[in-house]
Structure 1
Amino acid sequence: MKTHGELKGFWERRLQSDWTESGVGYAALGRAFNTWMYRVRAEVFDREAATIPLHLPDARVLDIGSGTGFYVRRWQGLGVKSIVGCDLTAAAVERLRGRFPGVEFHEVDIAEPGDVLEPGSFDAVSAMDMLFHITDDARYRAALHSVAAALRPGGVFVLSENFLQRPEQRGDHQVNHTLPWITHALDEAGFDVMRRMPMLVLMNAQVDANPVWRKLWGGLLRAVTLSERTGGLAGSLLYPLERRLVRLLRESPTTEMMICRRR
């Protein structure tokens, strides 16, 4: 397991060199394919976040792990006017402040936010595609407690994770926890799960699938994304199928989105 400092350095270097969808997404599949993948993520997020029990134009929202600001833009599109963003890296925060001049951004480690985030001051918090990059379990749980502290009672927490039904998977830069482990950690932090739905199905690593299928599909995806041209073509062909699958299926072998309420 990498130390916290090593992980921060990894993300500083990665976002400094590639501040795009591929930098924050599945880098091995290239920018063109990731752009199509993020179109699906956007549609799922917009559809589900629009139904949370808040009057969004009056809500105060915190986006954690803002990266390129993809989900900051999504909240803005849903009518949210008061947004605070944060990221672990200076590389992201400096650029985010230029891209979103009306949004407040902080360089924050959500596992140890200090006094940057006023307790109970947010109506909603999003943490998209970032919690599985906290590879220390204690820091993961600390991050959830920090989110709960920032939310008002009854506030909404929107997150994406891999929620494995199969055994946990641990790597240097990512840990895929099981669904029971994550829901238990959320419960300990003071959250009730409202619902969970697929965010992607085929356009991402099949981390919760049969190992044979996972290897075959992963190899195929990497093969068809060897160039930006073929990656863009593969993304455009998969996109209409993926849009349908995320609406039809109740669970996914890859990234899912969950909506929770703070007790």
Structure 2
Amino acid sequence: MKPHVELKDFWERRLQSDWTESGVGYKALGRAFNIWMYRVRAEGFRREVTALGLDLPKSRVLDIGSGTGFYVRQWRALGAESITGSDLTEAAVDRLRGRFPRDAFLRLDIADPGDALEDASYDVVSAMDMLFHITDDTRYRAALTNIGRAVKPGGVFVLSENFLHRPEQRSDYQVNHTLPWITAALDEAGFEVLRRVPMLVLMNAQVDANPVWRKLWGGFLRAVTLTEITGWLAGALLHPLERRLVRVLRESPTTELMICRRR
């Protein structure tokens, strides 16, 4: 597990050199494949948020770990007018301010935000594919606590994570926690879970699958994405199947989306 400062430097370098879908996504699979993957993510995100029936034009939205602004764009497409984005890195925040001049952006460490966020000031908060990059468990819980403080009572928290049924997995730049561990941490932060649905099924690392399948499918994905051309073709072929799978399956061996409400 890397210290926090080293993790921040890692993301500064990564986003400075690659501020695209592959920089914030599954980098080893290339940008072309990630573009198709993010199309599935966008459709599922919009579908699940729409089902909440939020009055987004009148809601204050906070997006944590905005990266390239992908989910800022989704909130805007859904009708949100007041959006605050944030990121740990200056590399992202400087570019986000230029890409989305209508919105506000904070250089923010959600595990230690200081006084950057007012208590109970946001109707909706999103943290997409970023919490598992907080590799210190104490800081992870602190991040959830700070999110809980920022959301109004009755407000909504949307997150995507790898909610493992198998034992947790740790590496230098990512920790995949178990579903019980995450739900317990959410409960401590004042959230109740409303639902959890697949966000991806085949188009990402099979972190919660049988180790043999995980290795075989991971090798297949890396093989078919060796070039941007083959990555684009692989993404185009998997895309319609993936759209179907995230709708019909109740659980996924990879990224899932969770909707929570602040008590």
What is the TM-score with the length of structure 2 in the denominator?
A: 1.00
> Which residue in 1 is equivalent to 2:248?
248
Cα RMSD (Å): 0.4
- The unaligned stretches of length 5 or more in structure 1 are none
> Which residue in 1 is equivalent to 2:19?
19
Distance (whole Å) between structure 2 residues aligned to residue 104 and residue 51 of structure 1: 26
- Note the C-alpha offset of 1:53: 4.2
Distance (whole Å) between structure 2 residues aligned to residue 60 and residue 188 of structure 1: 24
- The unaligned stretches of length 5 or more in structure 2 are none
Q: Look up the equivalent residue of 1:196 and give its one-letter code.
A: R
Residues 193-233 of structure 1 show CA distances to partners (whole Å, capped at 9, x for unaligned) of: 00000000000000000000000000000000000000000
> Which residue in 2 is equivalent to 1:201?
201
For residues 74-113 of structure 1, the aligned pairs below 5 Å read 74-113=74-113
- % identity of equivalent residues: 78
Q: Look up the equivalent residue of 2:94 and give its one-letter code.
A: E
Distance (whole Å) between structure 2 residues aligned to residue 78 and residue 100 of structure 1: 16
Work out whether residues 52 and 156 of structure 1, in 8 Å CA contact, stay in contact via their aligned partners in 2: no
Moved >4 Å (runs of 4+)? none
Query: SS at the partner of 2:10?
Result: helix
- Note the C-alpha offset of 1:57: 1.1
Residues 64-109 of structure 1 show CA distances to partners (whole Å, capped at 9, x for unaligned) of: 0000000000000000000000000000000000000010001000
What is the TM-score with the length of structure 1 in the denominator?
A: 1.00
Distance (whole Å) between structure 2 residues aligned to residue 52 and residue 23 of structure 1: 30
Work out whether residues 119 and 151 of structure 1, in 8 Å CA contact, stay in contact via their aligned partners in 2: yes
> Which residue in 2 is equivalent to 1:36?
36
Q: Look up the equivalent residue of 1:135 and give its one-letter code.
A: T
> Which residue in 2 is equivalent to 1:144?
144
Work out whether residues 200 and 246 of structure 1, in 8 Å CA contact, stay in contact via their aligned partners in 2: yes
Q: Does 1:238 align with 2:238?
A: yes
Residues 3-22 of structure 1 show CA distances to partners (whole Å, capped at 9, x for unaligned) of: 00000000000000000000
Q: Look up the equivalent residue of 1:188 and give its one-letter code.
A: E
- Give aligned pairs, total: 263
Q: Look up the equivalent residue of 2:157 and give its one-letter code.
A: F
Query: SS at the partner of 2:75?
Result: helix
> Which residue in 2 is equivalent to 1:178?
178
> Which residue in 1 is equivalent to 2:215?
215
Q: Look up the equivalent residue of 2:117 and give its one-letter code.
A: L
Distance (whole Å) between structure 2 residues aligned to residue 81 and residue 208 of structure 1: 37
- Note the C-alpha offset of 1:56: 1.1
> Which residue in 2 is equivalent to 1:72?
72
